[in-house]
Amino acid sequence: MNKSNNKGFTLVELLVTLGIAGIVITLIFNFLIINLKTFNQSSDEIALQEESQRIMNKIIEIGMESTKVKIDKQNGVEKIIFINKEEEKSYEEKFTLSENVLKYNGEQIGKNIKYITITPVSNEKGIKIKIGLEKNKAKLDLENQFLLRNK
């Protein structure tokens, strides 16, 4: 009696299995890479939103108490100066934008800033602020306006 006991897989079966597994693994890695890029893009957008809101709040907080706004641009450095004249004293609050970094009286309060524009509104009793930020491929533009309380 000639009984053959062939247990195991043939070479063709192993090659087909490896090919299918390779295709499935490639699809899974592509899916993960796309999701990672989307996550990083979303994280950058959220970071820009938080940063822009923090910057805008600081500018509005200082600006509302001011009596005058002055903009000074020299050698690529833009300065936004809020002047507050009280009864006998006058003081200035300075925001400086240089190399995409915004500083308030010398202390860094924001980065990734492409531009800040300030324009007067309501017969110069208020200002309109536009801030543009960019981080990697994420971009954000924020706009707000307020009245100077002490004008």
Domain ranges of the chain: 36-147
Give the whole-angstrom CA distance, residue 29 versus residue 25: 6
Query: Which is higher by pLDDT, 111 or 5?
Result: 111
Query: Which is higher by pLDDT, 129 or 70?
Result: 129
Under the banding of pLDDT at 50, 70 and 90, the label for residue 24 is very high
Among residues 149, 110, 151, 104, the alpha carbon closest in space to that of 132 is found at: 110
pLDDT above 90 (res 64): no
Q: Can you give the pLDDT at residue 139?
A: 93
**Rounded mean pLDDT of 8-26?**
94
Give the whole-angstrom CA distance, residue 139 versus residue 141: 7
Q: Can you give the pLDDT at residue 42?
A: 94
Under the banding of pLDDT at 50, 70 and 90, the label for residue 77 is confident
Degrees to nearest 5, angle at CA 36 with 35 and 41: 95
Cβ atoms within 10 Å of 116's Cβ, excluding its own? 20
Looking from the CA of 93 toward its CB, the CA atoms found within 13 Å total: 17
- How high is the mean pLDDT of the chain? 86
Q: Can you give the pLDDT at residue 71?
A: 80
**Rounded mean pLDDT of 4-31?**
91
Q: Can you give the pLDDT at residue 68?
A: 80
